[in-house]
């Protein structure tokens, strides 16, 4: 049974810092991995999607990497801003359904 873990559970950093969020999963037989952002009281917004054959994806200040063999993914946020404050969720897809991690709650201080 696939399990997805995210570390740390919460993170508080000053504005401008580069930071890394971690996601690990127990079953390497995945179809793809997605990183989502969730603002308080809102739904989830897809940030980056990495197919199982890919090693990384980039969008603006965000970069996500995938190492299937070790069961790990990282989300790198460059030059963090207060607007980046949110919960970030990692989700791993097997056949058709995603298994979500519990998220990292990020706060970027101005």
Binding site for another protein (CB under 8 A): 31-32, 34, 36, 41-46, 49, 51, 89, 93, 96-98, 100-103
CB of 29 to another protein, least distance (A): 16
31 or 79: CB nearest another protein: 31
Distance CA 67, CA 53 (A): 10
28: phi then psi, degrees, rounded to nearest 5: -80, -5
CB of 72 to another protein, least distance (A): 19
CB of 64 to another protein, least distance (A): 14
**Nearest alpha carbon to residue 66 among 34, 36, 96:** 34
5 or 13: CB nearest another protein: 5
14 or 41: CB nearest another protein: 41
């Amino acid at each position: 049974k696939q399990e997805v873990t995210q570390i740390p559970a919460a993170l508080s950093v000053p504005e401008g810092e580069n930071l890394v969020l971690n996601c690990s999963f127990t079953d390497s037989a995945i179809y793809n991995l997605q990183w989502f952002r969730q603002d308080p009281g809102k739904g989830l917004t897809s940030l980056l999607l990495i197919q199982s054959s890919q090693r990384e994806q980039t969008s603006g200040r965000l970069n996500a990497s995938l190492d299937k063999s070790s069961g790990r993914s990282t989300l790198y946020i460059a030059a963090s801003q207060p607007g980046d404050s949110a919960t970030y969720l990692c989700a791993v897809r097997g056949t058709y359904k995603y298994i979500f991690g519990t998220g990292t709650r990020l706060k970027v201080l101005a």
